[in-house]
Amino acid sequence: MIPSPFLLYLGRSADALGIKTSRGLAEFRREDCLGEFRHDDCPQTLGLPRLTMEEAAAKGARTLVLGIAGAGGRLPDELIADAALALEAGMNVAAGLHERLRDQPKLASLAAERGLELFDVRDPPPNLNVGKGIPRAGHRLLTVGTDCSVGKMYATLALTWALRERGVTADFRATGQTGILIAGGGVPVDAVIADFISGAIEQLAPARPDEGWDLIEGQGSLFHPSFAGVSLGLLHGAQPEALVLCHEPGRAHMRGIAGRSLPGLAECLERNLEAARLTSPEVRAVGICLNTSAMDREAALRLCARTEDHLNLPCTDPIAFGVEAIIDRTLCPAPSAFSTTASN
């Protein structure tokens, strides 16, 4: 386990989506977050005390979490320099980027000298097997999306908690850096060699003999040219009984690809169901989760109602309005009434 309390890193990030790992920890493990580190020109904040490395260490912070994510998961020079300051102040450093902390000579040397740890969260487990797609026991739900960073992790966590409140055994299965830091374990699926993606998810959510549910965090989108391969392998490995589609209304284009529009909800859901049927022929859609954080409450409620009417599926913002209707549909054995001819 990564030692807490944490100092959350924002650096100079001007992108609200780019600090999603730090934001996720601030929202779901706030009791473990002592403060935030940001440079003077950073417009972002998590509402935590702003601390220097030395101030954070003096207050008891044990680990600096580099909770930002840019394209390609690289460690730029400034991050390396700031991580070095944290080590010099006496803190461990954790990151979920594709470039590893341990591969940076300066950081590795400082950590060794001071008896501190470098935690590379995006390390896949060893000895993974290729997926087989053999039917396995258990109930599994997977969140899928129209794009990256539309709320799949938030929805999956909300669904997990709601099932537990109903007295149903439910386990959140993390597949990305933020989810892994929140849950304390999981598989960073986008760091797994392509041949082993589906097998990694089969191992993350193996057959279970009870009536409990595995809630598997989705990644990327089948419609995103950069990440669709990961999304497809996750669909096949999850062998889901149920799918929940996640979307952020008003997004102008695919994240990182200006000019490429997002798919319609009905089209996206049907393509995901079609792909999932390779390993789960009876898969069904059970709901839509919208990230309406940029909308006022009444407009968000109206949009959820319209979407529900169009697709004949429960639709909600899982954080603002809860997920009870989706849980009802999930636990109901009747087939989904989703129609591929529904309006987008």
Low-confidence ranges of the chain (pLDDT < 70): 70-73, 334-337, 339-344
pLDDT tens-digit readout, 82-102: 999 999 999 999 998 889 999
Considering just the CA atoms, what is the radius of gyration of the chain in Å? Answer: 20
Query: C-alpha distances in angstroms, 33 versus 22, 95, 109, 275?
Result: 9, 15, 27, 39
| Burial of residue 341, with CB atoms counted within 10 A of its CB: 0-12 exposed, 13-18 middle, 19 or more buried | exposed
Determine the Cα–Cα distance for residues 211 and 179; give it in Å rounded to an integer.
24
> Percentage helix, strand, coil, to 5, in the chain?
40, 15, 45
| pLDDT for residue 339 | 60
| pLDDT for residue 293 | 94
Q: Where are the domains positioned within the chain?
A: 6-120, 139-331
How many residues are given for the chain? Answer: 344
CATH topology of domain 6-120: Rossmann fold (3.40.50)
Closest CA to 119 of 243, 220, 2: 2
Q: Are 283 and 277 in contact (CB under 8 A)?
A: yes
| pLDDT for residue 76 | 86
Main-chain phi, psi angles of 63, to 5 degrees: -145, 130
Determine the Cα–Cα distance for residues 320 and 300; give it in Å rounded to an integer.
9
Residue with tokens 């309005």: 321
CA dihedral of residues 214, 219, 222, 225 (deg, nearest 10) = -160
CATH topology of domain 139-331: Rossmann fold (3.40.50)
